[in-house]
Amino acid sequence: MSSPGSAAGLAGVVAGRTVLSTVGQQGCGLTYRGYAIEDLAEFATFEEVAWLLLRGSLPTQSALDQYHQRLQGLRSLPDPLRNVLEQIPPTAHPMDVLRTGCSMLGCLEPEECPPELSKQFDIPDRLLATFPSMLMYWHWFHRDGRRIDTTCTETPTLAGQILHLLQGHPAEADHVRALDVSLILYAEHEFNASTFTARVVTSTLADIYSATTAAIGTLRGPLHGGANEAAFELISQFASADDAERGIMNLLAQKAKIMGFGHRVYRTEDPRSTIIQQWARRLAQQVGDQRLYSVSERIEAVMRREKKLFPNLDFYSASAFHHLGIPTLYFTPLFVFSRTAGWSAHVLEQRADNRLIRPTADYVGEAPRPYLPMEHRKESQASP
Residues that bind ligand COA (CB under 6 A): 9, 11, 223, 227, 257-264, 307, 309, 312, 314
Minimum distance of ligand COA from residue 16's CB (angstroms): 19
55 versus 264: smaller Cβ distance to ligand COA: 264
247 versus 262: smaller Cβ distance to ligand COA: 262
Minimum distance of ligand COA from residue 257's CB (angstroms): 4
Q: Name the catalytic one among 68, 224, 243, 289.
A: 224
Minimum distance of ligand COA from residue 258's CB (angstroms): 4
The answer to whether 190 touches 21, Cβ cutoff 8 Å, is yes
31 versus 210: smaller Cβ distance to ligand COA: 31
Minimum distance of ligand COA from residue 179's CB (angstroms): 19
Q: Name the catalytic one among 139, 175, 189, 263.
A: 263
81 versus 320: smaller Cβ distance to ligand COA: 320
- Is 263 one of the annotated active-site residues of the chain? yes
CA dihedral 309, 314, 316, 318 (to 10 degrees): -140
CA dihedral 129, 135, 136, 140 (to 10 degrees): 150
71 versus 303: smaller Cβ distance to ligand COA: 303
Alpha carbon distances (Å) from 63 to 32, 47, 67, 72, 233: 19, 11, 6, 14, 41
Minimum distance of ligand COA from residue 224's CB (angstroms): 6
The answer to whether 209 touches 98, Cβ cutoff 8 Å, is no
Q: Name the catalytic one among 314, 322, 323, 346.
A: 314
Minimum distance of ligand COA from residue 120's CB (angstroms): 29
- Is 314 one of the annotated active-site residues of the chain? yes
The answer to whether 219 touches 331, Cβ cutoff 8 Å, is no
Minimum distance of ligand COA from residue 266's CB (angstroms): 9
Nearest to ligand COA by Cβ — which residue? 262
**Three-class DSSP labels, the chain:** CCCCCCCHHHCCCCCCCCCCEEECCCCCCEEECCEEHHHHHHHCCHHHHHHHHHHCCCCCHHHHHHHHHHHHHCCCCCHHHHHHHHHCCCCCCHHHHHHHHHHHHHHHCCCCCCCCHHHCCHHHHHHHHHHHHHHHHHHHHHHHCCCCCCCCCCCCCHHHHHHHHHHCCCCCHHHHHHHHHHHHHHCCCCCCHHHHHHHHHHHCCCCHHHHHHHHHHHHCCCCCCCHHHHHHHHHHCCCCHHHHHHHHHHHHHCCCCCCCECCCCCCCCCHHHHHHHHHHHHHHHHHCCCHHHHHHHHHHHHHHHHHCCCECHHHHHHHHHHHCCCCHHHHHHHHHHHHHHHHHHHHHHHHHCCCCCCCCCCCCCCCCCCCCCHHHCCHHHHCC
204 versus 237: smaller Cβ distance to ligand COA: 237
Q: How far apart are CA 206 and CA 111, in angstroms?
A: 10
Minimum distance of ligand COA from residue 9's CB (angstroms): 5
Active site residues: 224, 263, 314
